[in-house]
Structure 1
Amino acid sequence: MNTIEQFIREVNEAISDVNTDYLLDKITDDFCWTIIGEKTVSGKTEFSEAMDQMRGLPKMKISIEKVMTDQQCATVEGVVVGKNRNGQKKYFAFADIYELEGANDPKIKKLTSYVIDVSKHKQYKESF
């Protein structure tokens, strides 16, 4: 596993743990997170607020299926398993595209997330 892949896996673990302090240290000041079809989060303040909203939800489990990297970007495919506010188990397939800055101490400049609710698909219920 290369250093960029390790970094991306650590970032996903921090997202799952809602480790805002760690994540704020790993994004640039002009960070932009676009969740396609949902919203765009711009800058560290908005990102911190988005993480605070996640803290109110039950803990989610992120299962990474594939990571592809080069020195300036990474793509991650996987499934998030969590519960909604009603306690109902939900499954979301995702693809995240990270644009990175800095070679020795990478920071995330841009994140684009594609998320699909796959809760009705039997294969996810049996796998996770």
Structure 2
Amino acid sequence: MKTSSTADFLRDFNNAFFSGNQQFIEQHVTDDVEWIMVGASQLKGKQALVDAAFGMQDYTQLDFEVEMVVAEGLSGAVKGVMTATGGNGRKRKYCYSDFYEMSGEGEAKIHKMTSFVVEIKKEP
């Protein structure tokens, strides 16, 4: 079965996000993008998103795996796991789910992201 182009795009977006490809992210979000991090904060605007996502993260200390992508039309969701290694060498593992809404004008760009992130304290 062939993956939809929206699903491929969301997979590419996650890869860019977690590998520190700021240029890709900037090119594929609207100027008024909204990023809601449930339970933490809400950001509005491309620069706010870029500052939060790329401000202090060391991408050499971050591993991730996209486990599932679901997409239809101009919306979709990505579920995955990421592991961050802190300066003290301690690894922290998180499950994440991101929900995306895209604009439909010209080349589709993300205009709203809603992120749920939960730290995994103990493996099942």
TM-score, scaled relative to structure 1 = 0.86
- 1:107–1:32 CA distance, 2 compared to 1 (3 A): same
Quote how far apart the aligned CAs of 1:38 are: 1.1
2:94 to 92, 95, 115: 92
Q: Is the 8 A contact 2:18 2:59 kept in 1?
A: no
Secondary structure of 1:97's partner? strand
2:28 to 22, 26, 29: 26
Give the match for residue 123 of structure 2: 122
Q: Is the 8 A contact 1:83 1:89 kept in 2?
A: yes
- 1:50–1:111 CA distance, 2 compared to 1 (3 A): same
Q: Distance in 2 between matches of 1:60 and 1:53?
A: 14
Q: Distance in 2 between matches of 1:33 and 1:74?
A: 15
> 1:1-128 maps to which residues of 2 (within 5 A)?
1-56=3-58, 58-102=60-104, 105-118=107-120, 120-123=121-124
Q: Is the 8 A contact 2:61 2:86 kept in 1?
A: no
For this pair of structures, how many residues does the alignment match?
A: 122
Q: Tell me, which stretches of 5 or more residues in structure 2 are unaligned?
A: none
Quote how far apart the aligned CAs of 1:62 are: 1.9
Moved more, 98-107 or 59-68: 98-107
Q: Is the 8 A contact 2:34 2:45 kept in 1?
A: yes
Q: Distance in 2 between matches of 1:96 and 1:54?
A: 21
CA RMSD of aligned residues (A): 1.7
Q: After superposition, what is the alpha-carbon deviation per residue over 1:54-109, rounded to whole angstroms, capped at 9, x for unaligned?
A: 43465312211111111121011111111123321111001110011127622000
TM-score, scaled relative to structure 2 = 0.88
